[in-house]
Structure 1
Amino acid sequence: MNELNKLTLVYNIDLVAEPTLSYGLTTKETHLQLIIKSNRTEIREADIISIPTGTHYMPNQLETLTLSVQGRKNQYLSLQNLAHTFIINFSALRLLDLAGNNMKILDANIFKALRYLNCLNLSRNAIRELPESLFSYQSQLLILDLSHNLLTYLTPHLFDHTPWLWQLKLGGNHLHDTTNLLENLKPLNYLHRLDVSQNQLQTIWSTETSVNRVPKLLTIFRYNMSSALADVLNYITKLKPENYEGGKINSTVINLSGNRLREFTLDWLVVANITCPFEINLELNLIENIFALQTTDDCAPKIKITGNPIVCDCKLAWIYSENYRSLFNGLQCVQTSTKLVKDLAQLERNELCAWEPVMCPRNCHCYTQLEFLYISCKGAQHIEQLPRPEQVGLKSSVLDISNNNFIELPLNNTFGYGNVSQLNASHNQITSINLSQLPTNLTVLDLRNNNLKSLNDEFLRTYLNDSTKLQYLYLSDNYWICDCSTQQLLYTIRTHRTRIPDADQLLCVNLLNDTRLIDNVRELCPTLVNVEYYRNLNATVISVALTIIVLLCIIALFYKYKLEVEVWLYSHNILRFCIRECELDKHKTFDAFISYAHQDADFVNHTLLPQLEQCEPPFRVCTHERNWLAGAYIPEQIIESVDQSRRTIIVLSQHFIESDWARMEFRTAHQCSLNEGRARIIMIKYGEITKTDLLDRELRAYLDMNTYLDWQDVGFWDKLRYAMPHEVRGERSSDMLKTNGRMYVMGQVEMNRLRDEIV
């Protein structure tokens, strides 16, 4: 800000005196400090509203407002029942300070009009509970001070509508429920300043657990600050430079001092995604033990932990392994053996932890050196357990079982064996190596002077070809057999020669003249030169076989779903030339004869016929109503209708089943199909069939062995058109039905001609 227009007004409401102007009286004040004095013990909202202030400032132009009540002669004075009535006119406020007014209750809608509020100070009051909707309209709130009140817990969902909250002060309250606190902080993705000092918290972990019993952690601290948030934050820090001068905006500061914490783990910083730079204040708690298994960022974090009864014992030994001591400069601890208070930086490891190797195997000597726990065994035959390096604050151990009589290595499920990173098993009687006998994090393996004849492919692949953890492997002075089975060992040694320092010393005992294993000798395997050829041949055979299998699967799937595929192709006018009807039907007059009961005539004439005769390409259809001559011999016309049609469409309904003539038409069409050995019948199920006992044997057998089209099917028309003949036809009359050389038609001209012939 280039100019600060601040107005301070002091009122004594007992005297109803004129206001005293203390600073900067102008006509465009944007910052107001309103001080109210009284001999009373309580100030109400009505008293404040009654003060004549309209001539001194414009409420809707104010950006900051400080309201404080002061009792005369230092007596207790409380501001009561302050609601939104007073604040409703201050819609442009960005900073509101109501600190030190001994307020006890806040109305849920008190801040409803302050939608642009960035900073709110409610500290040093007597607030016991906060309404859930108190901050529902403060979406731009950045700084909230609730310190030094009487809060015992936070109302759930209190901060659901304040996503930009950057600093939250809760110190000096009576908070004790960590779970309630962390659940309320989850929506705050930009929180970088958290003060919960001088409360009653006993742990930083939430007691609420998920299904797999993993504690819910404080994972809210991030640095993806938007430009709008940064601009508003800069405004607030410039407005109150005394609070933020010298502080880094992007640093994270968490104040947990003055609580009842009994332990602290640095892993919390990693899991909570708190990255450098950060400052954690743990002073004046009850912390006795500090733990750390994970490494924090490579920076200089600031952790304040003085004023805690830290115990110097083996639990604190990790502090030497990762050089964490620089984090705790000046920290003092109580030594368990002497009960003396000492500076942690001056304690040696052996003073910190008088560790006794209670799990050190018999005939073994266990000691620490540099960053490893060393286990040296002489005269041992087997190992049942090993000490774990975590006991002395280390991460890995070195096992030396050389110059013994081991025939095989310990199993990798042996207690403490999984922490071994270097294994010296030289000068033993070991004959084979299996994966079940090796630690997974092995970096050095010494197998010299044993009885090894070969190494299995699984070991070579896991520890050399597919992994880079194993840095050095020593194999000399063993009884290597060089034959075709040794090819994989030969290729692996040549590929990873830098990781096998004694590769030049591996000799073949079954070959003369001390032949070296890495030499390209023909005696190793007569077919050695053909290995690459067979590899290529195998790859080719496998590729061809896979291709054939894939093609067979495609063909099988096509034949399984052939109908669906052909229906889809035909309905979308794709590859219709591949779906042509046989040339044997080109002499037939009609594409289809529709057989139906007269009760279903409405469905046939108004639904079925228009769709078939008006589609593309159109079909020529014969029906007994339109193409038969009334009074003609019906059985003869049935036979001719079926014979002169490429398909017979059966509209199968309850009426059809009950009709003798309809069943005769089906039997005629069925017999024709059987005689020709071709599918001629298209069965359409229309309506519900309730009396199935009326089905004759021939129709029932056909339905059991063939599929039919259901009128209710969504793809009915596509399937019906597909089942119809597919060949391309020229224009042809669809009125005529020839019977024994005569022509029966429905047109009036042909009826007159027939009548003349009879005369």
Structure 2
Amino acid sequence: MTLRNLTREHFQNLVALRQLDLAGNNMKILNENVFATLTRLNFLNLSHNGIVELLPNQLAKLDKLIILDLSYNSLTYLRPEVFEQIPLLWQLKLKGNQLHDTTNIITILKPLNFLHRLDLSDNKLRTIWGKESYANAPVTLATNLHNSNMPMPLALAKGLNYVSTLEPNEYHQSKRKLKLINLSRNLLNGFNMDWIYEIGITCPFKINLEQNLIKNVYALSNLLNTTNDCEGEIIMTGNHIECDCNLAWIYNNNYSRFFSDLQCKQKSTNLLTKFTQLRRHELCAWQSVQCPRNCVCFTKSELLHINCTGAQLDVIGELPRPEQVLLTTSLLDISNNRFTVLPLSTTFGYANVSKLYAAHNQITNISLLELPNDLTVLDLRNNDLTSLCADFLRVFLNESTKLQLLYLSANPWICDCSAQQLLYTVRAHRHRIPDVEQLRCANKQNVTPLTASLSELCQTEDSVKHYQYMNAAITTAALIIIIFLLIVALFFKYKLQIKIWLYGHNKLRCCIREYELDENKMFDAFISYAHQEADFVNHILLPQLEQGEPPFRVCTHERNWLAGAYIPEQIIESVEQSRRTIIVLSQHFIESDWARMEFRTAHQCSLNEGRARIIMIKYGEIINSALLDKELKAYLDMNTYLDWQDARFWDKLRYAMPHKVGRKPNTDMLEVNGRLYVMGQVEMNCLCSENA
């Protein structure tokens, strides 16, 4: 039996449903609101249906979805907003569709911060590069792309309380560490080893490129920084690799160990030969130019990047040519070196450079013989340039539009009568000089190439005195304005401290009350803490908040959660029903998986609403800060927190809480979404009677 024309009404009585399998029903287009009532769904299988499009709000209510199977449909394009609404997605199966746009794939995956498994086999992808590099993809995607045969990591399964369905029967540590990427049976026509470097693949790894249209595999000598004990495998079976000079790099740094099954076609015999049976001279009679010593070379955004920043070089020999990696132009970065002149344009590989970054050197002069003809970007900041020759200004600025960006700041420019052409050119082409406002004349105080005039540069003694008087008057007026602005800035800087003091001393609260956006929420705060800090929370923090003035309604997992209920669901519900989430940050907290999950849930809720909802309290010393996960460390770097040892701790905490006047503490049972919570004094009385 097949199902078609499903609507929201078919599932309106299944609000607690966790798994839904609709595979093989020939549903080409789904109703946009068909899943609107399935707010607790974890697993959704839509494979083998012929679906041609996912509508913008198709999955809007499925914010707890963990696994989504869209295999063997007719999808050619995926809307990014569809996946923005399922942020907890862990596994995404897209095998056997018609996907061909790499940039679209990268875009839809960016919001999926918890994505751990991805299958893109049997599609129409022609390249694994988009307009944006895979370096910008989520970290979890970059290091954990797995095919559908990989087991779910044990820690994640426990964290989602979904072990009974997803945890494998046998769990091997070595399998968990393996990075496996399945790109088989697509239309890839080339593969670049730079891709492995860009997405940060670590050993051991396995990349499946079977049954594509790959003819060439490209690399430079020092891109893949692996050791001889690195275990890796790249499967190329079913492609048509050509034995030529483009493959000669495979003999460098023992790369050949990654390609145990590689066969290539010899041009002379047109026969498939196992590359291990060929010697280097049989592939290529010439030695390809590799990356210069102490430099790093890689491909990105259709450019061959040659990065020699800080290598302490004073001369450049040969450079790799971009055609060696199937490109046409290069980007050369020689910043922070000891160059006094640029390389000659006759240097091997230098003519292909279109972007040249030579900042922080000792360059004193620029000659046309030192510049590639097709430059689009030239960075000469922080050098020793005092002027630019007339030929350079004419060829690269006045008569040409190829040079799009020219950086010239932090050089000792000499502004005198001989600098006329430099002054005129800088002003005429200021739109191509992004740092033009930062240019300064080294021989004239408070004069820039934009403000200097020839009458000032070639002036008489009387005019000199006149301009000195004017400059003194302008300087005095500017100082007065600056002092006034400084006083105003200091006033506004300490405005927050004044508000905290007023609120802590019950003064003028009507002027600082928070706008009521959370009238429907049941709690003022949810306290997240490690169980070792229960004494601090129950005997110090809770009494001050619930019995102080004003009193607050507080939720904790010890007294408000129901035993045996679904823990991730209770975390999400507690955060969503609270106006603030108080994090008691301690060494025990950062070592607790559940505590960190509560922080991530609160942080995601805060990001979704665009409001500051988290109050961070530092309790005790953080002995081992290395255990901080990236998301929590990033939050601490960008936000302030309260210190328990602060003398004004309680004033600051009450100021950070929701500003409501006259709230009475609830001492009864509270019902939220059909669940009863024990509140305040009632629960304390029960505890007292039990102890008695």
Using structure 1 for the length normalisation, give the TM-score: 0.37
Q: Which has the larger radius of gyration?
A: 1
TM-score (structure 2 length as normaliser)? 0.40
